[in-house]
A and B are shown apart, each in its own frame.
Chain A
Amino acid sequence: MTAVTTEMQLIADLVPAGARVLDLGCGDGALLAHLQQAKGCSGYGVEIADDNLLACARRGVNVVQLNLEEGLALFDDHSFDVVLQLQTLQHLKNTESMLRETARVGRIGIVSFPNFAHWPHRLSVLGGRMPVTKTLPYQWYDTPNIRVGTFADFEVLARRNGLTILDSFGFHSGHVVRRWPNLLASVAVFKIQRG
């Protein structure tokens, strides 16, 4: 079972104690289990992969097997305090509608994704090649990251969809990056709400 990573802990710190949480693409349920145990949170994970579903069941984390591409019809407006959309948005075809769904279902949404404008990626592209790094380990032809966006791009997308950015920062190597995150962070994190 995955231990609680620094990145996971940093995300957990953003979730209020006792919150109802929906974790979209919850993986093996480690974060939800941590939120339940350490912060008295409750809620559900959503996963598509069978092995992750089993891992969640073994942890005793509520998990619902759904394809996020099909939307979140199962969940009513504002039925969760927090909706987590961590490292999943870049895998989805319906990125924009999923983002709107996140903001519809949760009072706040916390979104993270790989920041393609991180400086090593920029250098790579300047050198004429798509980046292959620790945070983006895939070749262009086999990457599951079908959406390639930057920290700055997300600000535009959020505005376009009438979402308010409550907070935003980057992560890199287990540290929060608040200075020039579009350049210095490999992961972008946004805390958003509707309206």
Chain B
Amino acid sequence: MGSIGHVTPQTLHFADPLLLRSGAQLAAYDLVYETYGTLNAKRSNAVLVCHALNASHHVAGTHAGQDKSEGWWDNLVGPGKPLDTDRFFVIGVNNLGSCFGSTGPMQTNPDPALGGRPWGADFPVVTVEDWVDAQARLLDVLGIERLAAVLGGSLGGMQALSWTLRHSQRVGECIAVATAPNLSAQNIAFNEVARRAIITDPDFHGGHFYAHGVVPQRGLRVARMIGHITYLSDDSMEEKFGRQMRAAELGYSTQDIEFQIESYLRYQGDKFSAYFDANTYLLITRALDSFDPASGHGGDLSAAFAAARGNRFTVVSFTTDWRFSPARSREIVKALVDNRIDVSYAEIAAPHGHDAFLLEDPRYHGLLRATFERIGRTIR
């Protein structure tokens, strides 16, 4: 098993307006993407990998001249890896509203009246469905009529599910990992605390902080800290940090770091706030909150998945993931079974919480390997 090696992101400009679910439209936009492997002559071996909250088009491989630049799913995607790039043509796309190159709030608002200021808070609210529609347009340009598979974890899993509901004919298998058919109230609540942390940061300036030469870093830090807590399990946090202290004894400080877990969270918050855009954080958590395919069917998820009768599914959850719990994945499986849709479902007993979907568990990766081998056998 090797790495893909250096990869180069590409950008495509789209001049046809994209009508968004909110009713707004993007007159023109760019999508940044990467591809790995070779598209076969029949263009039938493409697999789209959808990214979650803080990831990007850079799924695998490295960027030349950058240390530690492995893609976020490099352990899964590559030559000889479970999603084998010797066999499949893999595509990663940065979603609209993100801050890694595709059109988003950091880029210039095309409205001439605004004199070239960034979109900031005026960037239209985007949804999972909008992303999927934009991804479909990218495939049009790449000349791919049908994906062998679409794969995603967490918010990426929602996109993978949405593919089968919106463009069922254009995809074979949907592999949805550590995801949910919608967010629970508790989940939305976590997102809202994160958003409030950002919005109430004095450096936020109503989302137009770029002009002030500042970034609401404090808000982003807290947002990331909250997020990070929910991505780990109680057990894994206990094992990693327990009550380990920074110093030999308690300092009885209300402000300084006493416990290692505090240090870890602050580090994660600092790292994140240095590269992630605050408006993107708001947009992407909103996309998470709003995803709810059953809502167009009176809350009946089985009725929603009637649109996916031509697809096959692999659904994976992790036992200690409390942010996207196995019970939520089982709701998806139930909706599929109700429609007599082919589905396999694995509930991996992993200790790492939601983060498990990015880690290399032999049962998890073994299952995905077997799944992609099966998909590979059906490709002509």
Contacts and interface: CB of A to CB of B under 8 A. Distances in A.
Interface of A: 20, 42, 44, 50, 53-54, 56-58, 60, 62-66, 73-76, 79
B345 A54 contact: no
Contact of B367 (A42, A57, A75, A76): A57
B325 to A, nearest CB: 14
Interface stretch (B132-140, B141-149, B256-264, B331-339): B331-339
B330 A74 contact: yes
Contacts of B333: 64, 74
Contacts of B348: 50
A142 B183 CA distance: 44
Interface residues of B, number: 22
A42 B340 CA distance: 9
A75 B345 CA distance: 14
Contacts of B251: none
B370 A65 contact: no
A60 B337 contact: no
Interface in B294-324: 314
A54 B367 contact: yes
A57 B337 contact: no
B363 interface: yes
A64 to B, nearest CB: 5
A20, A50, A73, A75: which has the most chain B beta carbons within 10 Å?
A50
Given A54-B366, A64-B343, A65-B346, A75 B337 contact: yes
A70 to B, nearest CB: 10
Contact of B334 (A54, A58, A63, A74): A74
A54 B348 CA distance: 11
A56 B333 CA distance: 17
Nearest to B345: A64
A63 B363 CA distance: 15
Interface in B332-380: 333-334, 337-338, 340, 342-349, 363, 366-367, 370-371, 373-374
Given A64-B333, A74-B333, A56 B344 contact: yes
B363 A57 contact: no
A20 B346 contact: no
22 contacts: A20-B340, A44-B343, A50-B348, A50-B363, A53-B363, A54-B366, A54-B367, A57-B344, A57-B367, A58-B370, A58-B373, A58-B374, A62-B342, A62-B344, A63-B345, A64-B333, A64-B344, A64-B345, A65-B347, A74-B334, A74-B337, A79-B338
